[in-house]
């Protein structure tokens, strides 16, 4: 306790010096904490994208410009719609190597009154579906009834409220958990509801028909699960090459690869940045501690004179550094949290990558590790000085400057 109180007094009675060191170490923990949270959020964004995709192949009309436009809806929450004849579903399902085929129909609203923006509505077949349902089940155990919708996590309408789409009131029965992808800004409904909405849209002059004698209506995409043992590439090429379908096939694997490439780029940039900050900070701290301690040589010599052992002297120095780093570390984590968590939506749209903040437990873990790292770093950089100082001959320091 004696050394701790001496260290504490040294710190509180030199506030300028102490705060400068606190700020310096604060940068360390800020960079480590914020950087790690960003990298981990990108990783969990990718994981949730993988989990949400669920299908091996997605068949979309050629008009969807093959991948690009579909991918934008999926990843960035761009609002858009494209249609093909619903009858294609049966033919796709009958194709060799296809185990499951589930249709989805997209609808882009005009400005919906809930959100002062356009909405992406996605209708899915509740019987055939294998991609959306498992996700909805997490928040609502029952099927969506007529006109009922589930909303993505970015839409603020709560369960029990309703949103109006093309003049139709749709009660919200479930809010889905966040995925960090464009799916968070969409509204989900059954195929029956979608038919009603399409009709309502048509009444307002927005047409969705692809052929004049379309009886079963339209679909936008077919999610395909390839049969076990079948070659995904082969199934993809047979689906894409049908002469009269005018469809394109998106391989989810390549979509995920694309995202994970982007993620790898950002992650390594962040890691390099953290590394650079730490290397620089280590050198700066090393120099700063060396200078500060040198300035206090006499003070430490006096402590030796009145009976502080080398070990005790080193403990005084390390306690001081430890306390400074602890304070700086906490400050850095707090600032990092204030910089990252409120701005996740901004980061997501800037990076163009799925971004899902990790659970609180993991965030606390990152915070604790950043703190520990900062303290350790500070201790390490002052350890050399502490060691050197405690070896120096007390007598000669006391004679200096006389």
Of 58, 149, 184, 292, which lies in the binding site for other proteins, with binding defined by CB under 8 A? Answer: 184
Give the whole-angstrom CA distance, residue 96 versus residue 238: 9
- Report in angstroms the alpha-carbon separations of 275 from 8, 28, 104: 31, 10, 45
Query: Which range in 28-36, 47-55, 116-124, 223-231 contacts other proteins by CB under 8 A?
Result: 116-124
Rule CB under 8 A: say whether 179 interacts with other proteins.
no
Rule CB under 8 A: say whether 142 interacts with other proteins.
no
Q: Are 165 and 121 in contact (CB under 8 A)?
A: yes
User: How many CB atoms sit inside 10 A of residue 118's CB?
Assistant: 15
Rule CB under 8 A: say whether 221 interacts with other proteins.
no
Query: Which range in 63-71, 150-158, 251-259, 279-287 contacts other proteins by CB under 8 A?
Result: 150-158
> Would you list the DSSP string of 250-310?
EEHHHHHHHHHHHHHHHHHHHHHHHHHHHHHHHHHHHHHHHHHHHHTHHHHHHHHHTT--H
Of 10, 131, 251, 357, which lies in the binding site for other proteins, with binding defined by CB under 8 A? Answer: 10
Query: Which range in 213-221, 273-281, 303-311, 322-330 contacts other proteins by CB under 8 A?
Result: 303-311
Rule CB under 8 A: say whether 291 interacts with other proteins.
no
Give the whole-angstrom CA distance, residue 264 versus residue 42: 9
DSSP helix/strand/coil, 100: strand
Least Å distance, CB 152 to other proteins, is 9
Nearest Cα residue to 239 out of 225, 228, 257, 255: 225
DSSP helix/strand/coil, 196: helix
Rule CB under 8 A: say whether 157 interacts with other proteins.
yes
Rule CB under 8 A: say whether 244 interacts with other proteins.
no
Give the whole-angstrom CA distance, residue 239 versus residue 242: 6
Kindly identify the residues of this chain, within the stretch 329-348, that bind other proteins according to CB under 8 A.
338-339, 342-343, 345-346, 348
Of 302, 351, 365, 379, which lies in the binding site for other proteins, with binding defined by CB under 8 A? Answer: 302
Of 160, 243, 361, 401, which lies in the binding site for other proteins, with binding defined by CB under 8 A? Answer: 401
* Pairing mode, strands 168-175 and 149-151: parallel
User: How many CB atoms sit inside 10 A of residue 51's CB?
Assistant: 12
Rule CB under 8 A: say whether 388 interacts with other proteins.
no
Of 309, 364, 368, 388, which lies in the binding site for other proteins, with binding defined by CB under 8 A? Answer: 309
Give the whole-angstrom CA distance, residue 70 versus residue 348: 18
Of 48, 154, 196, 370, which lies in the binding site for other proteins, with binding defined by CB under 8 A? Answer: 154
Give the whole-angstrom CA distance, residue 128 versus residue 265: 37
Kindly identify the residues of this chain, within the stretch 39-98, that bind other proteins according to CB under 8 A.
77
Least Å distance, CB 129 to other proteins, is 25
DSSP helix/strand/coil, 216: coil
Q: Are 150 and 144 in contact (CB under 8 A)?
A: yes
Of 277, 310, 362, 380, which lies in the binding site for other proteins, with binding defined by CB under 8 A? Answer: 310
Q: Where along the sequence are the contacts to other proteins (CB under 8 A)?
A: 2, 5-6, 9-10, 13-14, 77, 111, 114-117, 119, 153-157, 184-185, 298-299, 302-312, 338-339, 342-343, 345-346, 348-349, 393-395, 398-399, 401-402
């Amino acid at each position: 306790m004696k050394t701790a109180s001496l260290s504490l007094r040294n710190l509180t009675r030199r506030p300028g010096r102490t705060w400068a060191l606190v700020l310096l170490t604060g940068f360390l923990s800020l960079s480590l904490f914020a950087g790690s949270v960003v990298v981990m959020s990108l990783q969990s964004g990718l994981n949730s994208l993988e989990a949400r995709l669920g299908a091996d192949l997605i068949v979309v009309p050629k008009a969807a410009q093959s991948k690009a436009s579909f991918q934008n809806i999926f990843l960035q929450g761009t609002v858009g719609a494209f249609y093909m004849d619903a009858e294609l579903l049966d033919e796709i399902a009958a194709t060799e190597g296809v185990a499951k085929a589930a249709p989805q129909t997209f609808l882009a609203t005009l400005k919906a009154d809930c959100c002062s923006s356009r909405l992406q509505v996605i209708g899915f077949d509740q019987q055939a579906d294998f991609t959306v349902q498992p996700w909805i089940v997490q928040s609502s155990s029952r099927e969506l009834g007529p006109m009922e919708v589930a909303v993505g996590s970015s839409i603020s309408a709560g369960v029990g409220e309703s949103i109006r789409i093309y003049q139709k009131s749709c009660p919200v029965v479930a809010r889905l958990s966040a995925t960090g992808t464009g799916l968070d800004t969409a509204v989900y409904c059954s195929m029956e509801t979608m038919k009603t909405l399409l009709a309502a849209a048509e009444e307002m002059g927005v047409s969705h028909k692809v052929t004049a004698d379309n009886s079963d209506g339209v679909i936008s995409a077919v999610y395909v699960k390839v049969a076990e043992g079948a070659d995904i590439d082969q199934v993809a090429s047979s689906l894409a090459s049908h002469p009269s379908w005018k469809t394109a096939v998106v391989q989810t694997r390549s979509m995920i690869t694309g995202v994970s490439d982007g993620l790898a780029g950002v992650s390594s940039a962040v890691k390099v940045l953290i590394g650079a900050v730490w290397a620089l900070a280590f050198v700066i701290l090393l120099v700063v501690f060396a200078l500060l301690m040198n300035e206090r040589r006499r003070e430490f010599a006096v402590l030796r004179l009145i009976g502080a052992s080398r070990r005790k002297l080193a403990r005084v120095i390390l306690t001081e550094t430890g306390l400074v780093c602890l304070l700086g570390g906490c400050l850095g984590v707090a600032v990092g949290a204030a910089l990252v968590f409120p701005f996740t939506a901004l980061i997501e749209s800037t990076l163009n990558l799925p971004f899902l903040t990790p659970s609180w437990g993991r965030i606390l873990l990152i915070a604790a590790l950043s703190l520990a790292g900062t303290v350790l770093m500070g201790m390490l950089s002052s350890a050399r000085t502490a060691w050197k100082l405690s070896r120096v001959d007390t007598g000669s320091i006391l004679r200096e400057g006389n």
